[in-house]
Amino acid sequence: MTLPNFLIIGAAKSGTTSLYRYLGQHPEVYANVKEPGYFALAGQRLNYSGPGDQNGFVRRAITDPAAYEALFEGVTNEKVYGEASVLYLYSQEAPLRIKKTIPQVKLIAILRNPVERAYSSYLHLRRDGREPLTNFVDALAAEPERIAANWEHQWHYTRLGFYHTQLVRYFALFPANQIAVYTYDELKANPAALMQQLFRFLAVDESFVPDFSIKHNVSGTPKLQAVNRFLIRPNWVKDWLRPLLPRSLRRTLGLKVKQINLNTDKTEMPPQARTVLTRLYRDEIVALQTLIGQDLSHWLKS
């Protein structure tokens, strides 16, 4: 039985997809499993009610232990093997389940200014045609009602950003040398340096340099919504192509088409929302600085 010896636990819209894909290029790393969410969702019957919930996250989610183990049947001689599920950072249940199942696992978190993260998540759902509200302030106001109606975690725009509260649960259960925390700012500024640190943390060859040319999971406005729907939703054409093209080639082609079709000129966040969110997260950011030993004062500027 093979279970992961590393996990990327979040945060959502903070560069986790890019980090995981860069890791997957390393010859000593098996990284071919994204967003199963098993340790947060084990044993649950998923019945989220938000727009597109059942066709998005739920299609990838794994709740059965045998199905989760099967995700790693492809591991051969790789030194490290793992998965990335951003729900693990947010979930109250995931830390203890991980501790009980794989106590020696190495945990990786990458965090983004929670104010920017919330807006990026909103733009992501707008990009996919799922967010019906055209005003970010209205979407923030609708969050409690949506959570009460069992919309899945991507709609929890503000609650996903309480990183200190979420990370403390892991530091209470795991030794600090099993946890690595980076920031989205570091990834953007110098991805090669960050990946070298990460390779060192995972004890693989740190001289390997990934290809950073493809950007993953970028938010923006599709130029042609029909093309975007084709790329993100199940359809018979993709089902027909699946056995004909290697997975890596399908992923690369899909990303390139998505990039070409995406207008990344984003509208600015409403100043009212930025002020409210910065005030909301202030205490969390201050506490997080102490927890992870990093200066995050630039996140406090509204």
Residue 254 belongs to a domain: no
Taking residue 269's Cβ as centre, other Cβ atoms within 10 Å add up to 18
Q: Phi, psi at residue 87, to the nearest 5°?
A: -65, -20
Q: Given the DSSP bridges, would you call strands 6-10 and 29-34 parallel, antiparallel or unpaired?
A: unpaired
Reading the block at residue 236, the tokens are 């018979």
177 DSSP 8-state letter: G
Residue 269 is part of which domain span? 6-220+264-300
Residue 257 belongs to a domain: no
Determine whether 68 is exposed, middle or buried from the number of CB atoms within 10 Å of its CB (0-12, 13-18, 19+).
buried
Q: Look at residue 237 in the predicted model and tell me its pLDDT.
A: 60
Residue 230 belongs to a domain: no
Mean pLDDT of 116-144: 96
Residue 91 belongs to a domain: yes
Any idea what the Cα angle at residue 106 is, between residues 104 and 107, rounded to 5°?
130
Give the chain's domain count. 1
Residue 93 belongs to a domain: yes
- CATH number of the domain within which 191 lies: 3.40.50.300
d(CA 286, CA 247) in angstroms, rounded, equals: 42
d(CA 154, CA 50) in angstroms, rounded, equals: 10
d(CA 41, CA 88) in angstroms, rounded, equals: 9
Q: Look at residue 204 in the predicted model and tell me its pLDDT.
A: 98
Q: Phi, psi at residue 98, to the nearest 5°?
A: -65, -45
Q: Look at residue 215 in the predicted model and tell me its pLDDT.
A: 66
pLDDT tens figures, 35-80: 999 999 999 999 999 999 988 788 889 999 999 999 999 999 999 9
pLDDT of 233 strictly over 60 = no
d(CA 149, CA 49) in angstroms, rounded, equals: 7
pLDDT tens figures, 143-152: 999 999 999 9
3-state secondary structure of 257: helix
First to last CA, the chain: 49
Residue 146 belongs to a domain: yes
Residue 180 belongs to a domain: yes
Residue 234 belongs to a domain: no
Q: Look at residue 59 in the predicted model and tell me its pLDDT.
A: 85
Percentage with pLDDT > 90 across the chain? 76
Q: What is the pTM of this model?
A: 0.85
Give me the count of residues in the chain.
Answer: 302
d(CA 234, CA 22) in angstroms, rounded, equals: 26
